[in-house]
Structure 1
């Protein structure tokens, strides 16, 4: 079978290529899935670069989420069927076939597009888990940066559904209109001076009790700047690749609490995660949750795919195309 592969850690565009490998065999509790579409996430690229929270053994096949069709089932798997369309988190998904823990796969209704189905877990589930983890009450205000990123858009949509008020920061003035076209409000660009006053105008002076940083670098200092006394700063990502910088004054005089959130190891019970995933599938089936794909590339073009994923101003994920649904 054809798969993407890398033998050394480094810049994804340089170290990734495609190769022929043996088709894996499903073991107990596993499903062999024929991959249809698999998105490129920032954490996939960080893993290839060797900068993520774990390092796979080399050579390695990248990819952590996909939609596909069950090809074979291992011993003990009774809730899935061969030929069933499924989505979910897995490993080594940038390949024509991949293995998955059958318990992590979710059957997907035909009404859900491949584009949405292949993204149902990593970003939407992370956004929902984050909102639960923040322990907010209806009426609370939060501020996040990277508001035009995949998770930022979802938090801005899911938050108000729970009565949570969300202010989203973006780094380009043009991104405000782009998000408005998607129905997302309370967006402020930090490109122009006086953005802090625009945030305060949106909140009406109400305290912002949580600040979510997905950028790293000075991004954390920006969200903290408009947060309230005693607020909590949650590090969600590091899109800039730079260490978080906070002024001592922010820490000392605001009495901040600082911690991280990693979707791979959430502080949530399994039944809570299962409930949230069920909500996502139901929303997608009703057409309430649609996740676009900006571009698709064949496995043989994986280097071009990751390069395209790094282009600014994308309106959706870049994805790796596997085999057609039969």
Structure 2
């Protein structure tokens, strides 16, 4: 378990180009390798559209993860925080905080107390290029939103799905999490995290992004889960590879006299639709790597 005080925080004034982000992430490597740390990245500008957010998160998680993998840092956690300048009011503590050169916490309106970090460093920015992505403004568009999944060894793809879900939800987020009894046929099933552990990680991540949202975690025992029972749900968030499940959900709702759900599709991190997403980031691959590590030791 990573100690809270071993985390590293980067404050970004915009979503930088990949090469710039690689350089900034590279500066954290010695800090992160001293102990089993995890990296928090806060993006200052407010995102207005889920399309813009999805694109930015996909790039930032991918670039950061690629840098970590190049150093053999397979298990280093990444959290990208957005539209939430009040995350510093939590009980989180950081080993090191990195700010752009010649700026302070006040520059970015971050009320970070001295007791929340051990040291402060700066990094250089050589550009001010921010990718312009347009789309309909849909922050907090739905009062009640639902999503579902196994969420084993919560990874970057899970975090993008949860991030977009919180972005479009104003009040209540219902997350179905596959119960243990339905996972017996999964590969490397002995390494699947218990249901309670998976729930805790999902809850912690959502609250990091949006502390005031109501989160309901429910056991998922069938395709529909709460979407087949809760009429108040307005939107179902799915990844691009699981759109067909949304069709089943809406068919079930209509048969039960409920309104069909708006379906919000999030991009898959890694892989291509043409080859069945064979190279996508997955919990199965994480468990395979864990099994390989255990075997080699």
TM-score class normalised by the smaller sequence: 0.3 to 0.5
TM-score, normalised to structure 1, is 0.33
TM-score, normalised to structure 2, is 0.35
